[in-house]
C-alpha cells in the first residue's frame, strides 16, 4: 500500500519538494545575508532590512524587493490543499481505482489513512520548517521588526493552515468526486475562511487595549512600533464630541484628545497559538473528514 501510494503521488511529492526547497532556500539565504551585514547596519526602528551591496547582497535585495518568500508562505497552504489534498481521493473516485485496492484486502479506513499519513504529514512538516525559517529571518532582522505585519507567514500558522487546506481538499474531493471542481472548491473555501478569520475574528481573540491621550501624535506606530494598531485613531474635542478619524476633518474645531485600540506586541505568540488551534480544530473536526475516517459511506461520498 505504501509503495502504491508513492507511485501515485510521486509527481506531486517532487513538485512539493522543489517548491518547499526553493521557498525555504530564499528565506534562509536572506536571513544569512542579513546576519552577515548586521554588523554594519544601524538599528533604526521601522528599518529592519539592511543588506550589503556586493553581488550576494544584491541577490538578497532582489528577493526582498519582490517578496518571493513572503507571498510564497501565504499561498503554500492553499496550493497544497488544492493541488494535492483535493485530488487525493477525488482522483481515485474518478478512476474507480479505490475498488481495486479494497479487493486486495485493504480496508477503506486503512486505504485512506495510509494516504493521509504519507502525504499530509510530510507537507505539514515542510510548512512548519519553512515557517520556522521565517521566524529565524525575523529574529535576524532584530527586535525593531513588527511581527504582526507577517502574521500568516510564521510557524505555527503555516503548518496549521496547511493541515486545514489539505483537510478541506480531501473533504471536497470525497464530496464532489472530481478533481478539478474539488480543487476550485478547496481554493474558494480556504480563501473565504482565512480572510474571514483575519478580518473579522483575529483582532478579538483577546480584548484590545484602548489608548487615550492628549498627545495627538502618541498613537499608532509612533507610540509603539511593535504593536498591532487597529483601525484609525479617533479624535474628540474638549467636550468629548467626535471629530473624525483625521485631524482637520471638522473645520474650526480643534481636537483635544485621541483614542485608538491596539494589541500589544507581547500578545503576538498567544494570538499565533490561538489561531493555529482554530485551524487545526477546523481540520480535525471537519464533519466530512470525520465521516471519511469513520467509513460512513459506501463510496466515500456524502
pLDDT in tens, 143-185: 778 999 999 999 999 999 999 999 999 888 888 889 999 999 9
For residue 242, the 8-state DSSP code is E
What would the pLDDT profile of 204-239 be if each residue is shown by its tens digit?
999 999 999 999 888 888 889 999 999 889 998 888
Residue 259: CB partners within 8 Å, gap ≥ 6?
210, 211, 212, 233, 234, 236
Greatest alpha-carbon span in the chain: 84
Give the separation between CA 39 and CA 156, rounded to whole angstroms: 30
Count Cβ atoms below 10 Å from residue 240 Cβ, excluding itself: 8
Kind and range of the H or E element at 95? helix 86-95
Nearest 5°: the CA angle 290, 292, 295 is 110
Supply 11's cell numbers. Answer: 509527481
> What pLDDT is recorded for position 164?
95
User: What are the residues facing 234 on neighbouring strands?
Assistant: 259
Give the separation between CA 182 and CA 81, rounded to whole angstroms: 10
Angle between helices 157-176 and 179-196 (to 10 degrees): 140
> What pLDDT is recorded for position 165?
95
Residue 141: CB partners within 8 Å, gap ≥ 6?
34, 48, 49
Burial of 132 (0-12, 13-18, 19+ CB in 10 A): middle
Q: What is the pLDDT along the chain (302 residues), one digit of tens a residue?
A: 566 666 666 777 787 888 888 888 888 888 888 888 776 665 444 445 677 778 888 888 888 877 766 788 889 999 999 999 998 888 888 877 766 665 666 676 777 777 778 888 889 999 999 999 999 988 888 777 899 999 999 999 999 999 999 999 988 888 888 999 999 999 999 999 999 999 999 999 999 999 999 998 888 888 899 999 998 899 988 888 888 876 544 556 788 899 999 999 999 999 999 999 999 999 987 755 545 444 434 444 44
Give the separation between CA 289 and CA 298, rounded to whole angstroms: 14
Give the separation between CA 169 and CA 144, rounded to whole angstroms: 38
Count Cβ atoms below 10 Å from residue 138 Cβ, excluding itself: 20
Backbone phi and psi for residue 242, each to the nearest 5 degrees, phi listed first: -65, 130
Give the separation between CA 85 and CA 174, rounded to whole angstroms: 10
> What pLDDT is recorded for position 2?
66
Sign of the dihedral through C-alpha 101, 102, 104, 106:
positive
> What pLDDT is recorded for position 290?
46
Give the separation between CA 123 and CA 119, rounded to whole angstroms: 7
Amino acid at each position: 500500500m505504501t509503495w502504491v501510494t508513492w507511485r501515485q503521488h510521486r509527481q506531486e511529492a517532487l513538485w512539493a519538494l522543489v517548491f518547499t526547497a526553493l521557498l525555504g532556500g530564499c528565506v534562509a539565504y536572506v536571513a544569512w545575508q542579513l546576519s552577515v551585514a548586521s554588523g554594519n547596519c544601524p538599528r533604526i526602528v521601522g528599518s529592519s532590512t539592511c543588506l550589503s551591496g556586493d553581488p550576494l547582497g544584491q541577490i538578497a535585495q532582489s528577493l526582498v524587493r519582490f517578496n518571493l518568500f513572503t507571498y510564497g508562505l501565504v499561498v503554500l497552504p492553499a496550493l497544497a490543499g488544492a493541488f494535492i489534498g483535493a485530488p487525493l481521493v477525488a482522483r481515485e473516485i474518478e478512476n474507480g481505482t479505490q475498488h481495486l485496492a479494497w479487493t486486495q484486502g485493504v480496508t477503506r479506513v486503512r486505504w485512506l489513512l495510509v494516504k493521509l499519513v504519507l502525504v499530509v504529514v510530510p507537507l505539514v512538516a515542510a510548512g512548519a520548517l519553512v515557517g520556522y525559517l521565517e521566524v529565524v529571518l525575523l529574529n535576524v532582522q532584530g527586535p525593531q521588526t513588527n511581527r504582526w505585519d507577517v502574521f500568516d507567514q510564521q510557524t505555527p500558522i503555516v503548518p496549521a493552515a496547511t493541515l486545514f487546506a489539505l483537510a478541506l481538499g480531501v473533504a471536497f474531493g470525497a464530496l464532489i468526486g472530481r478533481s478539478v471542481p474539488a480543487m476550485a472548491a478547496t481554493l474558494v473555501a480556504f480563501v473565504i475562511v482565512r480572510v474571514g478569520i483575519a478580518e473579522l475574528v483575529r483582532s478579538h481573540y483577546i480584548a484590545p487595549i484602548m489608548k487615550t491621550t492628549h498627545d495627538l501624535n502618541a498613537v499608532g506606530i509612533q507610540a509603539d512600533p511593535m504593536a498591532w494598531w487597529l483601525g484609525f485613531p479617533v479624535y474628540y474635542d474638549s467636550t468629548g464630541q467626535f471629530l473624525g478619524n483625521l485631524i482637520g476633518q471638522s473645520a474650526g474645531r480643534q481636537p483635544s484628545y485621541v483614542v485608538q485600540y491596539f494589541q500589544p506586541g507581547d500578545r503576538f505568540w498567544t494570538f499565533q497559538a490561538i489561531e493555529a488551534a482554530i485551524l487545526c480544530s477546523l481540520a480535525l473536526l471537519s464533519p466530512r473528514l470525520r465521516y471519511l475516517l469513520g467509513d460512513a459511506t459506501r463510496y466515500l461520498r456524502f
